[in-house]
Structure 1
Amino acid sequence: MAYSRAFSEESLREILLSLPVTSLCRFKCVCKNWGNLINNPSFTIDHCKKKKPPQHLIYDYDATDAPTVTLVSDKGIDEQKIFQRFGDNITNLLGSIDGVFFIERQIDNAILCTLWNPANREVRHLPAATIDFIPYDKHYRDIVFGLEPMTKDYKVLYYNALEEYAAIYSCSRDSWKIFKHNLDVDIEGNNIFERDILKSTDYLNGYYYWLVRENNKCRIVSFDFGNEVFVDMEGPPAGHEDYHWLANLMVLGDSLGILNFVDGFVHDVWIMIQPGVWNKLVTIHLTTRIKSYYDNSIILVTKSSRLVSYNVRTNKTRLFEFRHHGLHYCPEIGGCAVYYYKESLVTIKRQGNSELHLNHCMTRATY
């Protein structure tokens, strides 16, 4: 081929790694060698790891004729796309993890679960479980989404703290497994099991995290997607009796963090330096509504309906050019949710009757 005289295979690989997924889907058809290179599992992993400018996916829950999904950066709108319509009954959208989102919908009395990769437009509908899923209640029931890092197996967990049993779906098994959980939340007492209404993903390195408030204390409950068990750990120290917890979890690089409202515009940022051991990182002042978290940053919405990113470690801000009136409203009432997004070649399509290997190949999606 002509390209082989101009580029070495290593140079060609580096060039392709810098391209978006839509271009790679087209370039797979250029020749067999290009297709094999792009379909290689190591290419999929390296493409996901490649450092790219941060993007955010804005999902408009109230969209009708307008695009449902807008991809934005701090420089403005990157792309507007009309993806497959999932209807107006989405109760939960989580992600992204390696570019894949989880969608929960409630239709009549049925709870439907779907995985979705916006980059290659793949959709995978999960089979029904043998356990009944009750509608959303933030105090004791949730469906969450995570990845087992060693096997690259996406999993979905359903739990109900009032019941003894939970259910977990594995893409590699393509089925739900019912198990007896050890989740300890006293619903009748003063415990409040907090679910993140901002729709940001409290997933980190194989674990999903929740904050449990107990009177004037808080603790952390996590789910280990590898061993498929719940794990309990201590939250930050209670401090003096006037210090109250009204907090959200956030991700600070590769560490778990807590953003706690103190008074007025004042918030404390706590960071977990090892399981159950916490330090107060910084005290900050936030004067606008919080929309999401990513890396070391908080995404806020201004009075003029623009997004701004504030890095709690560097104290730097970045103003986005994107404006949308729905950013001022919660997804529950038809507003917009903001998700940190890094597109990927990961495939979620079923591979016939064989076991699914999510990072082993990428086939073009068709609706």
Structure 2
Amino acid sequence: MVGNRAVVYSKPGVVEVSNTPYPDLVLRDGPGVNKLNVGRKCNHGVILKVVTTNICGSDQHMVRGRTTAPSGLVLGHEITGEVIEVGSDVEFIKKGDLVSVPFNIACGRCRSCRERNTNVCLNVNPDRPGSAYGYVDMGGWVGGQSEYVMVPYADFQLLKFPDKDKAMEKILDLTMLSDIFPTGYHGAVSAGVKPGSTVYVAGAGPVGLAAAHSAQLLGAAVVIVGDLNAERLAQAKSFGCETVNLREHPNLGEQIDQILGVPEVDCAIDCVGFEASGHGKDHGEAPATVLNSIMEVTRAGGRLGIPGLYVTGDPGAVDEDSKVGTLKIRIGLGWAKSHTFVTGQTPVMQYNRDLMMAILSGRAQIAKAVNATLISLDEAPNAYQQFDRGVSRKFVIDPHGLVRK
């Protein structure tokens, strides 16, 4: 029997590479698996040999102990792999196909999926609409930071790369299709970015960098990225963004005014989420900071894209309200300015094929924008520590050593 090794959440601040069960086409009981999903047959699924799988900022929320993730949870929802086993109900995906896996798990049959809202599929998570691999309270589907993983609903979900050899040449770009590139792009589309727009992106982590690159692809005239981390801001500047260091210059409106001549932008994108910090050198965590600041600097009638993660349960929050996702948001300001807010998981399948073509044609340079950095499976625990310290890299795990360096 072939074995399987995976990156596993152990306890707050600690991940380990452990031996885990080789996947089959049944969702077995295990850490984090919803009891109502145990024993679920997946003849509509496939087994993948993982080619690349990425560390995401959303994973870090769990690793920091900011969720109710159980010890032993296999992490990872950004998956690209080669099909090595096909379920009896799979018709169009074949062994040997190289595919991108949307992080949203979606059946393709419910009302949400039929309306292209695959981020809130009704049939994959017994607790609430929407699911993802290797994530707490998302149904318990096993994560993909591993050597092998099972993917259900293969015919509907999987994006097959048309030329395997050419895909491997651009695999560091294509691996971003499972989550952060569509997520950043969704943030930009939700914010209404169009040719000539002025755009503010809150957060220069990988999703913020992906949103900034997406805004450029959509024709934005000026993209301004704000963060507290100078290294991450330097990465944003490397591909043509204006930047604002909110640790050194806490007044966001003044900084935008210096760049644009007016203290506001046409639209804004929140790529930070619920672990936001206050602006300035001495401020600690303040979960509503980004949402309130982007309302302040977005023009009346503007749009706010909010792909940054907000949760209903945060045991490590700074106050009792925040522990249940209740934040002190100035909704009156947003109402007075007639802002449009778009929140929630990104429906990856609305964007991934178009973005694949942008990558294959050379139009999109997402790996360069997010500073994709290839590592082995055994290097993952150290990469988590580096990422938590704020290093400006997007770590891409190569479990089998298949990617040419």
- Give me the TM-score of the superposition, normalised by structure 2: 0.26
Question: Of the two, which has the highest radius of gyration?
Answer: 1
- Give me the TM-score of the superposition, normalised by structure 1: 0.28
